[in-house]
C-alpha cells in the first residue's frame, strides 16, 4: 500500500470515528450532536432542531429535549393546559348565519381547512386570523392559551349570500400541535367591511365547528 493511500484511509477512519462518537454521545446522553446545523422554528411546540449527520436533537417549548435517529418521526408535545389555568369560553356561537365545516382530508394536529357557507342574504366579512381554538372538558369549552402571538394581516375577506369559501387555519403557529382531545375553532364574522378600524359591535357573530384529535 502506498503512503498516500494509507494516509487517506487513516484520515477517513479518524473522521468516521469522530462521527460515530459524536452520534453515540448525542443519542446516549440525549445531547445535541457537535456536528450540526441548527434550525430555529417559528412558532409551534418546537423551539429549535439541531440537525446532525445521523441524529436530530429537538428542543421543545415545554423544556423537553429529545435526540432521535434521522428518519424517525417525532413531534414535540404541546404543554398540557389544565382547566384551572384556562378561561371559560364567552362566545355566543351562532352557526345559522355562517356555517363552518372541515374540508375532508385537511385536518392535522396543527392545521385544517374550513369551508364557510353564508346562509343569509347579506355579505359578511372576516379577517385573516386563524381563529380561536377551544377545548371541551366535562361539557364546557375553554380557550387555549397561545404560546406565540399571531401576526395577522389587516385584510378583509368577503363571503356573499349563498357562497362557499375555503379558509386555511394554521393554528399550530399559535397553540402548537394539539394533543388528544375534543376541540372547536371559533371564527368571527361581521357585516362591516371596515371592521379592522372599529370595536366589536352587536352585528358581529361567531361560528364554530368541532373536531377531535385522536
- Asked if pLDDT for residue 175 goes beyond 80, the answer is yes
Q: Is residue 78 part of a domain?
A: no
End residue of a domain, out of 13, 44, 69: 69
Which stretches within the chain are classed as H helix? Answer: 3-28, 172-175
- Asked if pLDDT for residue 194 goes beyond 90, the answer is no
User: Are both 54 and 96 inside the same structural domain?
Assistant: no
- Asked if pLDDT for residue 189 goes beyond 90, the answer is yes
Query: Which carries the bigger pLDDT value, residue 208 or residue 86?
Result: 208
User: Are both 44 and 119 inside the same structural domain?
Assistant: no
Report if pTM > 0.85: no
What pLDDT is recorded for position 8? 80
User: Are both 53 and 89 inside the same structural domain?
Assistant: no
Q: Is residue 74 part of a domain?
A: no
User: Are both 56 and 125 inside the same structural domain?
Assistant: no
Give yes or no for a contact between 57 and 65, defined as CB atoms under 8 angstroms apart: yes
End residue of a domain, out of 25, 47, 69: 69
Is 214 exposed, middle or buried, given 0-12, 13-18 or 19+ CB atoms closer than 10 A? Answer: exposed
* Alpha carbon distance 171, 150 (integer Å): 9
**Position of cell 386570523?**
129
Q: Is residue 160 part of a domain?
A: yes
User: Are both 115 and 190 inside the same structural domain?
Assistant: yes
User: Are both 90 and 175 inside the same structural domain?
Assistant: yes
End residue of a domain, out of 46, 69, 92: 69
Q: Is residue 105 part of a domain?
A: yes
Give pLDDT tens digits for 118-171.
Answer: 999 999 999 988 999 999 988 999 999 888 888 888 888 999 999 999 999 999
User: Are both 53 and 96 inside the same structural domain?
Assistant: no
| CATH code assigned at 149 | 2.60.40
Give yes or no for a contact between 176 and 45, defined as CB atoms under 8 angstroms apart: yes
User: Are both 154 and 121 inside the same structural domain?
Assistant: yes
User: Are both 129 and 208 inside the same structural domain?
Assistant: yes
Q: Is residue 96 part of a domain?
A: yes
Q: Mean pLDDT over all residues of the chain?
A: 86
The tally of domains found in the chain comes to 2
What pLDDT is recorded for position 63? 79
User: Are both 41 and 128 inside the same structural domain?
Assistant: no
Q: Mean pLDDT across the stretch 54-60?
A: 92
User: Are both 61 and 130 inside the same structural domain?
Assistant: no
* Alpha carbon distance 176, 46 (integer Å): 8
Q: Is residue 75 part of a domain?
A: no
User: Are both 61 and 120 inside the same structural domain?
Assistant: no
* Alpha carbon distance 157, 152 (integer Å): 13
What pLDDT is recorded for position 6? 76
Q: Is residue 76 part of a domain?
A: no
Domain that holds residue 182: 83-213
Q: Is residue 150 part of a domain?
A: yes
Amino acid at each position: 500500500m502506498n503512503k498516500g493511500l494509507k494516509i487517506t484511509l487513516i484520515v477517513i477512519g479518524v473522521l468516521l470515528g469522530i462521527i460515530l462518537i459524536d452520534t453515540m454521545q448525542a443519542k446516549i446522553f440525549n445531547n445535541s450532536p457537535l456536528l450540526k446545523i441548527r434550525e430555529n422554528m417559528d412558532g409551534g411546540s418546537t423551539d429549535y432542531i439541531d440537525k446532525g449527520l445521523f441524529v436530530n436533537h429537538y428542543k421543545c417549548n415545554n423544556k423537553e429535549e429529545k435526540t432521535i435517529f434521522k428518519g424517525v418521526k417525532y413531534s414535540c408535545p404541546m404543554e398540557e393546559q389544565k382547566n384551572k389555568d384556562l378561561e371559560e369560553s364567552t362566545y355566543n356561537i351562532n352557526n345559522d348565519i355562517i356555517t363552518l365545516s372541515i374540508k375532508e382530508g385537511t385536518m392535522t394536529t396543527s392545521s385544517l381547512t374550513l369551508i364557510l357557507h353564508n346562509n343569509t342574504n347579506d355579505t359578511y366579512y372576516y379577517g385573516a386570523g386563524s381563529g380561536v381554538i377551544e377545548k371541551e372538558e366535562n361539557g364546557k369549552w375553554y380557550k387555549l392559551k397561545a404560546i406565540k402571538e399571531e401576526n395577522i394581516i389587516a385584510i378583509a375577506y368577503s363571503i356573499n349570500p349563498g357562497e362557499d369559501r375555503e379558509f386555511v387555519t394554521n393554528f399550530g403557529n399559535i397553540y402548537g400541535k394539539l394533543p388528544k382531545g375534543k376541540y372547536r375553532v371559533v371564527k368571527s364574522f361581521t357585516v362591516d367591511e371596515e371592521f379592522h378600524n372599529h370595536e366589536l359591535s352587536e352585528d358581529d357573530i361567531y361560528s364554530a365547528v368541532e373536531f377531535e384529535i385522536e
